[in-house]
Amino acid sequence: MGLCPELKVIEGSLRGTIPKKASPSGLPMKRRKLWSGRFSEDADRLAEEFNASISFDRRLFRHDIRGSIAHASALEKAGILTRKEAASIIEGLKAVEREISEGRFTFTPEMEDIHMAVERRLTEKIGPLGGKLHTGRSRNDQVALDIRLYLKDEIFTIAGLLHELKKAVVEAAEKHIGCIMPGYTHLQRAQPVLFSHHLLAYYEMFKRDTGRLLDCLERTDSMPLGAGALAGSPYELDRRLVAGLLGFSKVTENSMDSVSDRDFAIEFLSVASILMMHVSRLSEEIILWCTQEFGFVELPDAFSTGSSIMPQKKNPDVAELARGKTGRVYGDLMALLTLMKGLPLSYNKDMQEDKEPLFDAVDTVKETLLVFAPMLKSMKVNGDAMRKAVMAGFLNATDAADYLAKKGLPFREAHRVAGEIVAYCIKKGATLEDISTAEWKKFSPLFGDDIKEAVSIENSLNARAVYGGTALKTVKARLRAVKNEIGRGLC
Ligand code: ARG
């Protein structure tokens, strides 16, 4: 079967990068694999390209080198490296790190993956001594270590960004404490709530997301090196020393599990999916609130975009994209769950496919959180539009029923009476605030002169002073507690 033109170009360009010089084993020097001892045939170009993860796992270079430096110390302690050897390996590794971070290093597909690229460059720099670094280690435990180190760092970064988002939510809740809006169920106006109460609901969700991130950190924070390929290392490696050097609080317990386990990454992806689901729900609300139909909020120009055809348009693209990117993170979770579901113990090359979804989710969550917090801070709130919406739609009908229930009428009965009053008002084109006490009394003798006061919007709101309710004083108290939590750091 002939190759399509694009693949031919790729193949051709790969071929162009390969030096012709042959090694003692007959394979071209640069193309010799670190594992090529038993191989007499050159790797097929397409197979090599297909196998390589260097194009994406190169982003793990810092973690890979950190892990190698710690491993060199364990090799020294085990008497496999002399102090001098360990020192020159460590120095060489640091030089490789500098080369990569300063962009002086060219990655090519024949390097296969980041572990081989670093080791090969180290050996080029310090000579055959570089070959001692892989003693007692396999790429299987090495890659397990790298991802854990990477993910631990990223969990902290994401928790920090999430903290900023929580601060933005709380700041907006504090700024607009006086705004009363309709609370909805079924997207139908239900009962008056404080806009701040609505916003603080998201604070609670994001707080649980932080908790989930930190829980996941607990299981990511386990050091796998020493597992070797799968059965454990035959050298006396001090695994706890390595864990300590790398900032892990514990070591993994089973070598086979150590190289097979990706559930910490799946756990992260599920946490990320839940977090994005929350961001997406808030996005959806902001998108609705920005419409002319609602008009509750306005996003500043800096966080909106225009239409190339309709001059009047101002679109909430940031919120829409946050909602859209949520699906992408769900996809990353599904990719990893599906990847792992049929794998026998222990390492299988399929697992190389864990990285791109993980990286994609980390990047997506970070960029979303980064832009979301400032957007939220700059959102303008139209308290008048909210109040207008509260006044229409009989949001205080429950209060009329509660009034009767408090006078002893069974709630079911009270509910029916209030419903009849609503029907009466609809017919009359009036609101519950408009009708006279005499009219109220026609529906039930239990209504007294204080009914007008009881169904006022402020009363309806402030009556809900139960712990966790929307009354002004309750929300203010929660706001004080939340600001305290925020001030104490990650919560
Ligand atoms: N690039 C590989 C990965 O990401 C590293 C481990 C390779 N191990 C192996 N035995 N081929 O999974």
CATH class of 56-135: mainly alpha
Note the pLDDT of residue 295. Answer: 95
Lowest mean pLDDT among 10-14, 225-229, 231-235, 413-417: 10-14
Mean pLDDT, residues 272-296: 97
**pLDDT of 89-110, one tens digit each?**
999 999 999 999 999 999 988 8
Beta bridge partner(s), residue 305: 315
CA of 57 from ligand 1 middle (Å) equals 10
**pLDDT of 192-244, one tens digit each?**
999 999 999 999 999 999 999 999 999 999 999 999 999 999 999 999 999 99
pLDDT higher than threshold 90 for residue 116 = yes
> For residue 136, is it left (φ>0), alpha (ψ between -120 and 50) or beta?
left
The residue whose CA has the least distance to atom 7 of ligand 1 is 139
186 tagged catalytic? yes
**pLDDT of 232-282, one tens digit each?**
999 999 999 999 999 999 999 999 999 999 999 999 999 999 999 999 999
- The ligand 1 atom at the shortest distance from the C-alpha of residue 112 is 1
**pLDDT of 144-193, one tens digit each?**
999 999 999 999 999 999 999 999 999 999 999 989 999 999 999 999 99
Q: Which residues are CB-neighbours of 300 under 8 A, at least 6 positions away?
A: 378, 379, 380
Are 339 and 131 within 8 A, CB to CB? Answer: no
CA of 259 from ligand 1 middle (Å) equals 10
The predicted model scores a pTM of: 0.88
- Residue 7: pLDDT band by 50, 70, 90 thresholds? very low
CA of 490 from ligand 1 middle (Å) equals 35
pLDDT higher than threshold 50 for residue 27 = no
Note the pLDDT of residue 14. Answer: 38
Q: Which residues line ligand 1 (CB under 6 A)?
A: 53, 57, 113, 139-140, 143, 347, 349, 351-352
Are 461 and 192 within 8 A, CB to CB? Answer: yes
- Alpha-carbon span 371 to 378, nearest angstrom: 11
Domain ranges in the chain are 56-135, 140-387
307 tagged catalytic? yes
Are 316 and 299 within 8 A, CB to CB? Answer: yes
pLDDT higher than threshold 50 for residue 8 = no
Report phi then psi at 241, rounded to 5.
Answer: -60, -50
**Following CA atoms 484, 488, 489, 491 in sequence, which dihedral angle do they give, to the nearest 10 degrees?**
-60
**pLDDT of 304-315, one tens digit each?**
777 666 767 678
Mean pLDDT, residues 58-77: 98
Single out the residue of 418, 409, 412 nearest to residue 460, CA to CA. Answer: 418
The token duo for 332 is 């990353």
Measured between alpha carbons, how far is residue 197 from residues 135, 212, 298, 397, 426 in Å? 59, 23, 19, 20, 29
Are β-strands 222-223 and 250-251 bridged in parallel, bridged antiparallel, or unpaired? parallel
CA of 352 from ligand 1 middle (Å) equals 6
Superfamily of domain 140-387: Fumarase/aspartase (Central domain) (1.20.200.10)
- Alpha-carbon span 225 to 239, nearest angstrom: 7
Single out the residue of 142, 341, 152, 337 nearest to residue 230, CA to CA. Answer: 142
The token duo for 418 is 């209030």
**Following CA atoms 479, 480, 485, 491 in sequence, which dihedral angle do they give, to the nearest 10 degrees?**
-10
The residue whose CA has the least distance to atom 2 of ligand 1 is 352
Among 13, 40, 186, 308, the one annotated catalytic: 186
Which of 114, 115, 139, 261 maximizes ligand 1 atoms within 8 Å of its Cβ, making it the mutation to test the pocket? 139
Are 256 and 345 within 8 A, CB to CB? Answer: yes
pLDDT higher than threshold 80 for residue 1 = no
pLDDT higher than threshold 90 for residue 404 = yes
**pLDDT of 424-436, one tens digit each?**
999 999 999 888 9
- Alpha-carbon span 184 to 201, nearest angstrom: 13
Among 23, 25, 55, 307, the one annotated catalytic: 307
Chain mean pLDDT for the chain: 91
